[in-house]
């Protein structure tokens, strides 16, 4: 399934039906007697959060949503039928912004339902206006128009742990190892072009969601590389796991020191969001099977200890440290 996290929709609620102007045709009833019924309510447009939806792809093919109008009232005090509500299901984590860029709705909980555009109220028929002094009213109300609007949808994944790091840091391999997620894995930069979610099972029946965010590079907060398009997907996470590849190379072609890699990614997070920089974090040094001498890791491990940040060395290929990492994640969440 193609991952889409931005879309624009136009929605329109139904108009209320008009009230009826009608009189009974009965013998000995003054002026026939008013019996005009009320118009039906217009259908509303409702949005609902569904944890089983993970993309906004549907809205690339259908961008306009319109609820039906209410039916006009009629004689014999018959009320018009109300228009059915239109329910738009969106992934949990979707935000809606109006045309002015103001946040209208933030769907954070599964099953959350909000009326986005309310249907118009039905008009009153002339029977409603009958009084002791006005027994044959000729007044009735038209239906009210339904609300309408144009909204931008922006999806922020809802996950407990966000995996961040440079391209090829081992994020996709790790999430495929600890969950049933099957991301694309290859030995070249930016293998992952869309975020991946995986459910991880820990001891004691605990489970949590991990998000594999496409690789970051210096300048990501300015849009470089895959940039801010995917940085937003770790804003809702509760824990950030910095994946450090000790064999990574810098832009100059030199081996990038693990400590420098950590600070480079952390710098991008801080510049993108000060709140994001305050998230719980731990450091995961990957590809242990490719490290002949672990002395090069000492500066990073010492920095983690000084900052009171938990760190661990793992190998997704051999399984080294994987059970401990899962427990570390679970402990940080629960």
Residue range(s) of every CATH 2.70.210.12 domain in the chain: 6-155
pLDDT at site 235: 77
Q: What is the pLDDT of residue 225?
A: 42
The predicted pLDDT at position 319 comes to 92
Please, where in the chain does CATH 3.40.50.300 lie? 161-333
CATH number of 6-155: 2.70.210.12
pLDDT score for 146? 96
Q: What is the mean pLDDT of each run of 10 residues along the chain (334 residues)?
A: 78 96 76 86 96 83 94 92 95 91 91 95 93 88 96 85 85 87 49 68 87 61 46 79 80 69 84 79 90 82 90 92 93 87
Give the per-residue pLDDT at 245. Answer: 87
Q: What confidence score (pLDDT) does residue 23 get?
A: 87
pLDDT reported for residue 219: 47
Check: CATH 3.40.50.300 for 161-333?
yes
In sequence order, the β-bridge partners of residue 207 are 201
Q: Contact 186/37 with Cβ under 8 angstroms?
A: no
């Amino acid at each position: 399934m193609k991952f889409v996290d931005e879309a624009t929709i136009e929605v329109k609620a139904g108009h209320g039906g008009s009230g009826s102007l009608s009189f009974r045709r009965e013998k000995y009833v003054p002026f026939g007697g008013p019996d005009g019924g009320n118009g039906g309510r217009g259908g509303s447009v409702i949005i609902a959060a569904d944890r089983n939806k993970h993309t906004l792809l549907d809205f690339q093919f259908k961008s306009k949503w319109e609820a039906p109008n209410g039916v006009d009232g009629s004689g014999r005090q018959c009320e018009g039928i109300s228009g059915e509500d239109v329910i738009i299901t969106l992934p949990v984590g979707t935000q809606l912004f109006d045309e002015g860029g103001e946040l209208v709705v933030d769907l954070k909980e599964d099953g959350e339902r909000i009326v986005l555009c309310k249907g118009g109220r039905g008009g009153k028929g002339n029977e409603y206006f009958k009084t002791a002094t006005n027994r044959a009213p000729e007044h009735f109300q038209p239906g009210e128009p339904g609300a309408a609007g144009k909204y931008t949808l922006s999806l922020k994944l809802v996950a407990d742990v966000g995996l961040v790091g440079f391209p090829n840091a081992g994020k996709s391999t790790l999430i495929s190892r600890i969950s049933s997620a099957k991301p694309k894995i290859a030995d070249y930069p930016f293998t992952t072009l869309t975020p991946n979610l995986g459910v991880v099972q820990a001891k004691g029946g605990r489970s949590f969601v991990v998000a594999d965010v496409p690789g970051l590079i210096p300048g990501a907060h300015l849009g470089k590389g895959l940039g801010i398009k995917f940085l937003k997907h770790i804003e809702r996470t509760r824990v950030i796991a910095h994946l450090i590849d000790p064999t990574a190379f810098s832009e100059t072609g030199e081996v990038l020191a693990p400590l420098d890699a950590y600070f480079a990614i952390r710098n991008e997070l801080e510049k993108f969001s000060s709140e994001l920089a305050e998230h719980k974090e731990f450091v995961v040094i990957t590809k242990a099977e490719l490290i002949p001498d672990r002395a090069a890791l000492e500066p990073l491990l010492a920095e983690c200890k000084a900052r009171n940040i938990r760190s661990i060395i793992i190998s997704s290929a051999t399984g080294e440290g994987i059970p401990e990492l899962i427990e570390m994640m679970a402990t940080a969440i629960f």
